[in-house]
Amino acid sequence: MAESIVHDTHSSAKGGHAGAPQKSFFGLLKRPGEGCHPVIDWLTTVDHKKIAIMYGAAALFFLVLGGVEALIIRWQLAGPEREMISARFYNQLFTMHGTTMIFLAVMPLGAAFFNYIMPLQIGARDVAFPRLNAFSLWVFLLGGVLLNLSWFFPGGAPPVGWFAYAPLTSSTYSPGIGTDFWVLSLQVLGISSLAAAFNFIATIINMRAPGLSMMRLPVFTWMTLITSFLIILAFPAITIALVQLMFDRNFGTFFFEAGEGGRPILWQHLFWIFGHPEVYILILPAMGIISEVLPVFARKPLFGYPIIVFSGAVIGVLGFAVWSHHMFTTGLGVIALSAFALLTMLIAIPTGVKIFNWIGTLWGGRIRFDTPMLFAIGFISMFMIGGFTGIMHASVPVDTQQHDTYFVVAHFHYVLIGGSIMALLAGIYYWFPKVSGKQLSERWGKISFWLVLAGFNLAFFPMHFLGMTGMPRRTHTYRADMGWTEWNVWSTVGAFILGLGMAIFVGQIIYTAWKGRRCKADPWDSRTLEWATTSPPQAYNFPRTPIVKTRDQVWADKYDSEEIHLEWGPEEEHGIHMPDRSWYPLFAGIGLFIFALGWVLFKEPVPFIPGFANFLHLQVVGFSLLMLSIYLWALEGPGGYHLHPDKSKDPYA
Amino acid sequence: MSQAHTEPLGKASEHVHPEEQTNTGIPNKKVAMWAFLASDCMFFGTLISTHLIYRKTTGYPDVTHIFDIELTTGSTFILLMSSLFMALAVSAMHKGNLNNARWSLGAVILFGSLFLGAQVYEFHHFVHDLGLTINGSIFGTTFYTLTGTHGIHVLFGIIWLSSWLIYSFFGTMKREHALDIEVAGLYWHFVDIVWIIIFPFVYLIEYV
Amino acid sequence: MSDSNAKFRTLTLLVLLAGSVLLTGCLGPWDQKQSALDPRGPLAQDQYNTFMVTLYVTGFLFVTVGGTLLYTVWRFRSRKTDDPNTIPKQSHGHPVIELGLVLASAAMLVVIAVPTIRGIVYMENMPKDLHDDAIVINVTGLQWWWEFEYPEEGIVTANEMYIPAGRAVHLNLRADDVIHSFWVPKLAGKKDLIPGQENEMWMKADEPGYFYGQCAEFCGDSHAYMLFRVIAVPEEEYRAWIEKYQEGPAIDIADPGAWEPDDAHEELIGKGIDAFRRHCVSCHRVGDQGGLTGPNLSHFGSRTTLAAGWLDNNPENLHRWLAEPERVKPGNLMYYGLQGMTGLKDIEISDEEIEAMVAFLLALE
């Protein structure tokens, strides 16, 4: 660090910082300062950029893990009546594949972008609550660890599906500990998502740079905001459902026990009241990324900006009104079936509007086919196919034939791989220079794009045929005379090509992060505020507060008249105020992890400690650590120190 | 609570950091608390819906014989009163009257504890005298889960406010802490409002 | 740039080519055993027709919107001849175009919505003219087999359902353990069997036929092995089948002494009756003898499949099923026993006993 750092730390005896209690508590743990050991720096960081990088790295790891699980699944299905793996193992694999991809790969990849890009796009120094942000990261990471720990316990991972329909999850039908791991890790991950969402909402509503009105916000930031609202409103439903399930399993309550007045169908309602908004939690960030990438590579502003923003919000609202379309075969009755079918069709309109506007953005542009753009165009076309099959599902009579078949598997993989993953890849190729100051190779990027596109279509398009000719989902094998063999072989071949494409992509990321060459600060000739600083940005993001004059501010600076150019606020005479690092988010996360593990191991023998059955021991330990960390967190206060930026390092300012 | 006991709050710090000037003028902590409360609405919404959906299904006892509606009405009143004192505590903090704030906070904690004590008594009575357990009937299942979750919210509020009360004696209370008390107050009022919804939908509805 | 454009062009062509080869080469026939594209009853036909409507509408949209996208990308690609200093017009959108597209897509949806609503009403209510001669079957889904009860005829069977062709069937769907889903794609879309809930559906086979069905809701370890058959037969054959079932099993196991073997095979059957009475009757029923937790085996020999439609019913498969049930169908209760009761895992059954039981069971025509 070349900056001159002024350590006039407020948190110690010198005193005087707003809101911060002054005593360094017990002096047990000193807050690490500038120049601490890199490991300690990363463990205690509150910098949104470092947190984002850890989110991204962990998510990529889980993406690879979930991908390997998928390949084993495809390997088993490559022929009829194969016994490569047992039925139980297969069921565990598809459960873990789904849960991992949704909660540990796609959502955290989205969170990585929210964390890295959103504060830069609004010209902020960090998120509203930097330590809470670190807490979200650690809780997510430990939640992922908790879920995957299940593999190492007797009985192994949960074999109940990511949807975990009651009463299959009851202690009668799923006595194994795997289901408890699933329940508790989802609770833990929910806490992480909720904490992150509160943080992002406060950040976007409150911490925009002067002049950056809501209707000047980049669309990605808008989608971050909408997604955060979806999270805070949707996650409670599944959290409560999981609590109810946990009570049923551990305390003998009757929430989903049909014989005792409970109703298994309640689980489905609660799960999908969460589950359908969750679909939009996965796709809205992707739509935001695409809305950033297309204008840059078409060299035109987004077509119909207000309508894209508005349709995103409409999708978010309607997302809460269509959950029962996942339950068309459960016997809802004519009225409910018709209502939910029509509402579901309505969602096609704002979604279609987005696609029209993206094409409108391209129209009249000058389109460059760099890797991010290839993935973005791939996104539009693949997501469109997924959208069309979605319209088919909205039609109840059609859905009764397609529900729970490979047709649905094809549909949501078109939306989630062709949609979310393609867009996230576009985003990674687009923002990698921002994050690392290095550019990914175009040649390998394009190779990986074509492999992903071809492999993906070969893997998933035949599944439409499989579904329509009657192959149910979640079956570990099929009779040889069903006529499904050929398409399954194609699908498996495609899956491995897709895997190869993803492997090249991951390898490229690792190689470039390690050895890549430095590139310009704004290599794509971009448009939005995150490019108005160095790549990678300094710890403080912007040396002075940017004063925004227009949407697409950075583009205006390059190509528009002087009066709407970016201005910079006054230099802060005390230097830039930076939040202090803290140990407590990590410790609180560990406390929560132990607490959750305690509930998993409720009444179970604890491994490595013979003869020790856990009743509330682990819970007490974990909860105490959690509470202690929260108190010390509160007492240490936000702290902070002042930093004087080195102006020579910022070409833009 | 005479003027003589008033302690002055610490001075506001000399300079204001940019991150404390928000676009909306509402402090970040308050926005985040509002977002949390929106989320908590959904938590209780889910629990209350579950309870209502399971009313009058198999194994649903005649609950009017179980409830002690006088006791619950009384404890509802006590909880409402605690909200009044919460408002007084926030107001005192804003005026810089620490002593008043302490007394009011103490009253909130006391009333909250009384409410919680009534709930503990109610649960104890139901379980030991009436045999209504969480795993005995579907009513027990949803009733204890819903009201228990609310009770835990109250307990958490009491711990939170007690922590501030204790801190006010040992730490340095400043004018900025009025915001923290206000945020805690938002939470406390919310927990009260939830009870105002639970009381008719769980208790009174059984007498209709 | 031009280099990568050329590559882009070639690759697009290649993908299109490969795609069309795949489409023409692999498409059809669509009459697989469980194909929803080969409807054989009015309900499945209606669902197929609605599917075709959605396919045409979305296909049209795909061609127009996808074509526009392709054309746009092609026409506005950056070229080598472009002046690098000029930038495209920075236009921001056009409300009239937006509104037009919204209305057009809404109109498309109406085309789908109409047959959808009509189809829902049709699916949920059996047409009046089919009511009169409809038969009723109670379907119970269990891990991992199906019980079919004909309440009006007083018959209980498992995994193979006989129905009269040309008459509608009203199904009452129940589940005792976890959720299952009843699905015979060629006759009707699926409906779930949910514990504590009373679902119903109807279906009808126009012509006689042998239809494959399968559980379509994940229900645990052996979900993939939970198949069944619906056998639609002409009216007279259906009556004969009913009568045969009402008469009771070919062998009465109530009194094993009554079995008088004439040859070696019948002697084997006699041993089979004994073995069956020793090991199986606590769960399986033959005639009026035996328990109710397992499939009713009164006419097992006349079934075409065993182990819930997974294996064809022949002596080899039946032997394998009895010798190693856990391998054929992991997690099944015949092996593990129902909630603490004894299962085959707890007892030794000799090969001779299995041989004898195979002979006996197949004799239950």
The pLDDT assigned to A573 comes to 81
Q: What residues contact residue A318 under an 8 Å CB cut-off, 6+ apart?
A: A343, A346, A347, A350
Evaluate if residue A136 carries a pLDDT over 50. yes
Here the tokens at position A65 are: 């893990």
pLDDT, one tens digit per residue, over A292-302 is 999 999 999 99
pLDDT band for A260, please (50, 70, 90 cuts). Answer: confident
Cβ(A463)–Cβ(A386) below 8 Å: no
pLDDT band for C20, please (50, 70, 90 cuts). Answer: low
The pLDDT assigned to A8 comes to 36
The pLDDT assigned to A575 comes to 84
Q: Which residue of A has its CA nearest to C34?
A: A470
- A72 phi and psi, to 5 degrees? -65, -40
The pLDDT assigned to A576 comes to 87
Evaluate if residue A178 carries a pLDDT over 80. yes
Best CA proximity match to A597, nearest among A606, A588, A609: A606
Q: Which parts of chain B register pLDDT below 50?
A: 1-19
- Between A15 and A223, whose confidence is greater? A223
pLDDT, one tens digit per residue, over A109-133 is 999 999 999 999 999 999 999 999 9
The Cα–Cα gap between C120 and C130 comes to: 17
The Cα–Cα gap between A369 and A294 comes to: 10
Q: What is the 3-state secondary structure (H, E, C) of A3-38?
A: CEEECCCCCCCCCCCCCCCCCCCCCCCCCCCCCCCH
The pLDDT assigned to A484 comes to 95
The pLDDT assigned to C236 comes to 96
Evaluate if residue C171 carries a pLDDT over 90. yes
Lowest mean pLDDT among A609-613, C113-117, C242-246: A609-613
The pLDDT assigned to B7 comes to 37
Specify the residue for token string 């209760």: C333
Q: What is the mean pLDDT of residues A494-503?
A: 97
- Residue to mutate among A294, A395, A399, A552, with most C CBs inside 10 A, is A395
The pLDDT assigned to C273 comes to 93
pLDDT band for A5, please (50, 70, 90 cuts). Answer: very low
Question: Of A10, A276, A393, A581, which one is the catalytic site residue?
Answer: A276
**Residues of chain B found within 8 Å of residue A572, distances taken between Cβ atoms:** 18
Domains by residue range for chain C, with CATH: 2-82+91-124 (1.10.287.90), 132-235 (2.60.40.420), 256-363 (2.60.40.420)
Cβ(C141)–Cβ(C191) below 8 Å: no
Specify the residue for token string 């298994």: A264
Q: Which residue of B has its CA nearest to A225?
A: B35
**Residues of chain C found within 8 Å of residue A481, distances taken between Cβ atoms:** 33
pLDDT band for C17, please (50, 70, 90 cuts). Answer: low
Does residue B86 fall inside a structural domain? Answer: yes
Does residue B183 fall inside a structural domain? Answer: yes
Q: Please give the radius of gyration of chain B, using alpha carbons only, rounded to the nearest integer.
A: 20
Our measurement of the distance from residue B40's CA atom to the centroid of its chain's CA atoms, rounded to an integer in Å, reads 12
Q: What is the mean pLDDT of residues C101-119?
A: 93
Q: What is the mean pLDDT of residues C234-260?
A: 91
The pLDDT assigned to C161 comes to 96
**Residues of chain A found within 8 Å of residue B12, distances taken between Cβ atoms:** 18
Evaluate if residue A32 carries a pLDDT over 90. no
Count of helix runs (H) and strand runs (E) in chain C: 10, 14
Burial of B28 (0-12, 13-18, 19+ CB in 10 A): buried
Q: Which residue of B has its CA nearest to A132?
A: B32
The Cα–Cα gap between A578 and A540 comes to: 7
- Residue to mutate among C15, C90, C211, with most A CBs inside 10 A, is C90
**Residues of chain C found within 8 Å of residue A399, distances taken between Cβ atoms:** 189
The pLDDT assigned to A34 comes to 79
Residue range(s) defining the domain that contains residue B123: 45-207
One-letter amino acid of C110: V
Q: What is the DSSP-derived secondary structure letter of residue C183?
A: E
Evaluate if residue A329 carries a pLDDT over 70. yes
Cβ(A412)–Cβ(A389) below 8 Å: no
pLDDT band for A510, please (50, 70, 90 cuts). Answer: very high
- C152 phi and psi, to 5 degrees? -75, -30
The pLDDT assigned to A641 comes to 85
- Between C92 and A221, whose confidence is greater? A221
| Longest CA–CA separation in chain A, Å | 81
The alpha-carbon gap from A540 to the nearest alpha carbon of chain C, in Å, equals 32
Does residue B26 fall inside a structural domain? Answer: no
Does residue B111 fall inside a structural domain? Answer: yes
Containing C139, the helix (H) or strand (E) segment is strand C135-142
Here the tokens at position C310 are: 């997974």
Contact criterion met (CB < 8 Å) for B16 and A208: no
Here the tokens at position A31 are: 């807050």
Evaluate if residue A540 carries a pLDDT over 70. yes
Average model confidence (pLDDT) for chain C?
90
Does residue B193 fall inside a structural domain? Answer: yes
Cβ(C219)–Cβ(C331) below 8 Å: no
Q: Is A162 a catalytic residue?
A: yes
Q: Is A411 a catalytic residue?
A: no
- Between A469 and C13, whose confidence is greater? A469
> CB-CB: which of A201, A240, A247 is closest to B31?
A201
Taking only residues 226 to 245 of chain A, the set having a beta carbon closer than 8 angstroms to any beta carbon of chain B reads 232-237, 239-241, 243-244
pLDDT band for A348, please (50, 70, 90 cuts). Answer: very high
Here the tokens at position C155 are: 């018959």
- A547 phi and psi, to 5 degrees? -115, 115
Q: Tell me, what CATH number does B164's domain have?
A: 1.20.120.80
Evaluate if residue C226 carries a pLDDT over 60. yes
Evaluate if residue A498 carries a pLDDT over 50. yes
Alpha-carbon dihedral angle through residues A474, A478, A483, A489, given to the nearest 10 degrees: 70
The pLDDT assigned to C22 comes to 59
Q: What is the mean pLDDT of residues A619-633?
A: 94
Q: In what order do the strands lie in the sheet with C155-158?
A: C155-158, C145-150, C135-142, C168-175, C199-204
- How large is the ipTM? 0.92
Alpha-carbon dihedral angle through residues A463, C61, A106, A374, given to the nearest 10 degrees: 100
Does residue B4 fall inside a structural domain? Answer: no
Average model confidence (pLDDT) for chain A?
91
Other chains touching A, judged by 3 or more CB pairs under 8 Å: B, C
Contact criterion met (CB < 8 Å) for C199 and A331: yes
Other chains touching C, judged by 3 or more CB pairs under 8 Å: A
Best CA proximity match to A210, nearest among A567, A643, A650: A567
Q: What is the 3-state secondary structure (H, E, C) of A572-590?
A: CCCCEEECCCCCHHHHHHH
Best CA proximity match to A6, nearest among A640, A538, A539: A640
- A70 phi and psi, to 5 degrees? -65, -40
Evaluate if residue A140 carries a pLDDT over 60. yes
- Between C131 and A572, whose confidence is greater? C131
Q: Is A138 a catalytic residue?
A: no
The Cα–Cα gap between B132 and C320 comes to: 51
Does residue B161 fall inside a structural domain? Answer: yes
Q: What is the mean pLDDT of residues A198-226?
A: 96
Burial of B80 (0-12, 13-18, 19+ CB in 10 A): middle
For chain B, say whether A191 makes contact (Cβ under 8 Å): no
Kindly report whether the peptide bond that precedes residue B27 is cis, defined as omega within 30 degrees of 0.
no
> CB-CB: which of A369, A395, A479 is closest to C54?
A395
The Cα–Cα gap between A538 and A126 comes to: 12
Q: Is A192 a catalytic residue?
A: yes
Evaluate if residue A10 carries a pLDDT over 60. no
Residues β-bridged to residue C135: C169
The Cα–Cα gap between A66 and A253 comes to: 34
Q: Which residue of B has its CA nearest to A569?
A: B18
pLDDT, one tens digit per residue, over A351-367 is 999 999 999 999 999 99
Does residue B36 fall inside a structural domain? Answer: no
The pLDDT assigned to A351 comes to 94
Domain count, chain B: 1
The alpha-carbon gap from A146 to the nearest alpha carbon of chain B, in Å, equals 24
Specify the residue for token string 């859905």: A399
The alpha-carbon gap from C303 to the nearest alpha carbon of chain A, in Å, equals 18
The Cα–Cα gap between A104 and A87 comes to: 24
Evaluate if residue A22 carries a pLDDT over 50. no
Burial of B133 (0-12, 13-18, 19+ CB in 10 A): middle
| Residue A211, number of CB atoms within 10 A of its CB | 15
